[in-house]
Structure 1
Amino acid sequence: MIPIMTPFIGEAEAQAASAVVLSGWLSQGSEVAAFEREFAAAVGSDHACAVSNCTVALHLALLAVGVGPGDEVILASHTFIACANVVLQCGAVPVFVDIDPNTFNMKPELVAAAITERTKAIMCIHQMGMPCDMEAIMPLARAHGVAVVEDAACAIGSEIRMNGQWERIGRPIGDIACFSLHPRKLLTVGDGGMMTTSNVEYDRFARLLRQHGMSVSDSVRHNSRTVILEEYPVPGYNYRLTDVQAAIGRVQLTRLDEIVARRRRLAQTYREMLADIPGVRAPSEPEWAKTNWQSYCVRLPEGADQREVMQKMLDRGVATRRGIMCAHLERAYAHHELRLPLPESERAHRGCILLPLFHQMTEDMQEQVVSSLKAALVKQPALV
């Protein structure tokens, strides 16, 4: 069986985790602090705040930029449902806009049409690692005084050209960027997240809320020569990352360049192999973006049955996933009012599949994937 993804993780990560376990300090401490510094340096950000997953990073980011009850947040429906959920958790209203079928990211012109006097933030989702068109969206946001939160869950190592200069996603371009460290992502710590920003107040806010609103961290109290009594000036959350996870993350971070380079080579091989299958459309990058190819999403021929193709490929030993979900099609959002039609989002959801892509993948594995896709698309003659 060829899986959709398998983490690139090994003995070095195991040794790093073991060292923390044997140290006696397992919770948020010096390893987390070191991981934050190294992550910030890797993406070019002033600050990085580690948290327990990307969903809570997005929650803190929205709260930090002032999203609250009655506000509106513009985002794509074509993404994991967590993005819409965190908007609701802030008491705000998700306003869905459609995507560009070429990048699977929201179209800037539709974002402009969705802005109202209640718009508090735009959530730019770098879907499957493909950078959103930030050069077009940022002027819209700034002109209307709207905050920009980047869902960079899938985009560690991706690059975008801004003002003629290439930079990594996560600097950030907007106000805050949020990353995932889930096993489906390029870097993993089991599960975890990171929030990056250039705004020191946003960083302080996130650090305060991630640990119950506690005024002094555990490590500061532990290392102090005098008694410190903590205070709780605001209600907070338990959104912490452990030192065990951070130690794994620090090793993973040293592999980033290697992982991105490898995935880009694998994506190019896929593109060449898929060229011979009629009607199948391979993904491509706009000239201003360099994706990390966190997921490899192909568009099936018109009329192909997505589920049937996936089942036939599974029968041949190849795991796939459906096209990216649409929040507005889930029962949880059945009563949510749509202001704009979302035809491209729905078309991508129903007409695309994700092919396996992981660091350890061989060319033989890719050939098996492509041959199984080709066989799955062959129509059997009807029985007379």
Structure 2
Amino acid sequence: MVELGAPILGEPEKRALAEVIDSGWLAMGERVKRFEQAFATVHGAADAVAVNSATAGLSLMLAAFDVGAGDEVLVPSMTFVATAATVVHAGATPVFVDLEGPDRPHMALADARAKITPRTRAIVVMHYGGYLMDLPAWRALADEHGLLLLEDAAHVAGMAEGIGVHSDAAAFSFFANKNMTTAEGGMVLARDPERLARVRLLRAHGMTASTLDRDRGRAVGYDVVEFGHNFRMDELRAAVGIVQLERLPGWNATRLELTSTYREVLARALPEVTVPFDEGHPSTAHILPVLLPAGADRTAVMAGLRAVRVQSSMHYPPVHRFSRYVDAYGEADLPHTDAYADRELTLPLHPRLSPADVERVVASLAGAL
């Protein structure tokens, strides 16, 4: 089977987990702090806050800036549902923004500008597939209208080109299918140290002292100064994260090489199937999206691939089409998003693939079409 995505786990991760078990301390502690500091350094930040998912990170970003009832937040529809769901749970209203087009499935600045109202409080951009958004342009739009700029950075761990620098905050994912994993987990960066400190406080029930601090005698008792959550990361996941982070640059480089191979093989053997974004677009190559020819039966194509043991998927069913969102917010007119969603197919991409695997996938796709 050529897997769609596969985490790389081995002896280094096993040793790291064994060390945590042998230490006797499993809850959030010193390894979480080490992971936060290492992640911040990789991304050119002073500090970071580890959480138990990117969804938690998105929720904490919104909470740290008091986004809530009466506010509107511009979000993409071509994203995982958590990008919009966290806005809903904050009490705000998600406003869906269309894509630029099939060759560049990023939120369109022009459509975002047209949808800004007096109630708009924030813009959440999402680096689809690991391809970097034009953050300076989005920062300029946000500043022009006095808005927050937040990043759903779930696909871009290891991207050291401005993530969390131009925006007010960014949330990363370490889910099992991401470029690095802690099984479940995430990280938050924020430009303002006071906002990041609030994220840290909200992560753990709004308590002024951690369990570790009390256990080590560094604090006696605690106060609760915010209505917080239990969004903490534990030592086991942090230990895995430290190991994975060290290997992430090599894995991302391999993903980029495989993406280039896909482009070359598709152009030669199956030119009617195209890869979005330009070859040199800054990316972590999280997924390999392709556009099928107009009118192709994607369900049949995926079944054909599965029959020859090649996995595939779709990223993503657009959020504005989900029944609960239609019920709550009505129909949204997003023609570019709809057109892209109807043709997109995700092919296998992970560091364990070889160029021969890429050739096999493309040949299998040609047969399925």
TM-score by length of 1: 0.93
Is residue 124 of structure 2 the alignment partner of residue 123 of structure 1?
yes
Partner of 1:95: 95
Q: Is the 8 A contact 1:320 1:353 kept in 2?
A: yes
Tell whether 2:348 aligns with 1:347.
Answer: no
Summarize the alignment of residues 243-262 of structure 1 with structure 2, pairs less than 5 Å apart. 243-262=235-254
- Cα distance in 2 for partners of 1:127, 1:329 equals 18
The whole-number CA distance in structure 1 between the counterparts of 2:368 and 2:217 is: 64
For residues 332 and 113 of structure 2, the distance between their equivalents in structure 1, rounded to whole angstroms, comes to 12
Deviations 1:274-312 (A, max 9, x none): 01214211233375x410110000000111011111110
The 1-side partners of 2:153 and 2:104 are apart by: 15
Match of 2:199 among 181, 202, 206: 206
Task: State how 1:231-250 maps to structure 2 within 5 Å.
Answer: 231-250=223-242
Structure 1 counterpart of 2:72 = 72
Q: Are the counterparts in 1 of residues 52 and 232 from structure 2 also a CA contact under 8 Å? A: yes
Map 1:111-150 onto structure 2 (within 5 A): 111-150=112-151
Amino acid in structure 2 at the alignment position of 1:78:
M
CA contact (8 A) 2:69 2:92 kept: yes
Retained in 1: the 8 A contact 2:109–2:138? yes
Aligned match of 2:163 in 165, 170, 176? 170
Match of 1:57 in 2: 57
The one-letter code of the counterpart of 1:238 is: N
C-alpha distance in structure 2 between counterparts of 1:339 and 1:117, whole Å? 22
CA change 1:339–1:330 in 2 (3 A) is: closer
CA-atom RMSD in angstroms: 1.4
Q: Which amino acid aligns with 1:293?
A: A
Q: State the Cα deviation string for residues 241-300 of structure 1 (Å, max 9, x = none).
A: 00110010001010111011111110011111101214211233375x410110000000
Q: In the alignment, is the contact (CA less than 8 A) between 1:47 and 1:198 conserved in 2?
A: no
**Matched AA of 2:123:** I
Q: Aligned with 1:322: secondary structure?
A: coil
TM-score by length of structure 2 reads 0.96
Q: Check if 1:110 corresponds to 2:103.
A: no
Q: Is the 8 A contact 1:16 1:251 kept in 2?
A: yes
Counterpart amino acid of 1:188? T
Structure 2 unaligned runs (5+)? Answer: none
Which one-letter code corresponds to 1:216 in the other structure? A
The answer (yes or no) to whether the contact 2:79–2:315 under 8 Å persists in 1 is no
**2:151–2:164 Cα contact (<8 Å) kept:** no
**Structure-1 residue corresponding to 2:174:** 181
Q: Give the aligned partner of residue 315 of structure 1.
A: 307
Give the letter for the 2:356 counterpart.
D
Structure 2 SS opposite 1:212: coil
Aligned-partner Cα distance in 1 for 2:254–2:271: 27
Q: Tell me whether 1:299 sits opposite 2:287 in the alignment.
A: no
Cα distance in 1, alignment partners of residues 107 and 336 from structure 2: 10
**1:362 equivalent in alignment to 2:354:** yes
Aligned-residue identity in percent: 36
Equivalent residue number for residue 382 of structure 1? none
Q: CA deviation at 1:170?
A: 2.9
Equivalent residue, structure 2, for 1:221:
214
Residue deviations 1:317-372 (CA, integer Å, cap 9, x gap):
10000242211111121224358621111111121100000111112211111111
**Residue 362 and residue 245 in structure 1: after superposition, are their counterparts in 2 closer, same or farther (change >3 A)?**
same
CA contact (8 A) 1:66 1:120 kept: no
**1:31–1:207 distance in 2 versus 1, CA, 3 Å:** same
1:169/1:285 Cα in 2 relative to 1: closer, same or farther (>3 Å)? farther
2:196 alignment partner AA: D
SS of equivalent residue, structure 1 residue 195: strand
Partner of 2:320: 328
Structure 1 runs not aligned, ≥5 long: 159-166, 378-384
1:8 aligns with 2:8: yes
Tell me the secondary structure at the aligned position of residue 255 of structure 1: helix
Q: Counterparts of 1:245-284 in structure 2 under 5 Å? A: 245-275=237-267, 276-284=269-277
Distance 1:192 1:169, change over 3 A: farther
Post-superposition Cα deviations, 1:19-77, rounded to whole Å, max 9, x if no partner, equal 00110000100000000000000011122000000001000001112211010000111
Return the letter of the residue paired with 1:353: L
The DSSP-based 3-state class of the residue aligned with 1:105 is strand
Work out the CA distance in 2 between the residues paired with 1:172 and 1:80.
23
How many residue pairs match? The answer is: 367
SS at match of 1:321: coil
Residues 96 and 339 of structure 1 are in contact (CA less than 8 Å); yes or no, is this contact kept in structure 2? no
Aligned partners of 1:156 and 1:170 also within 8 Å: no
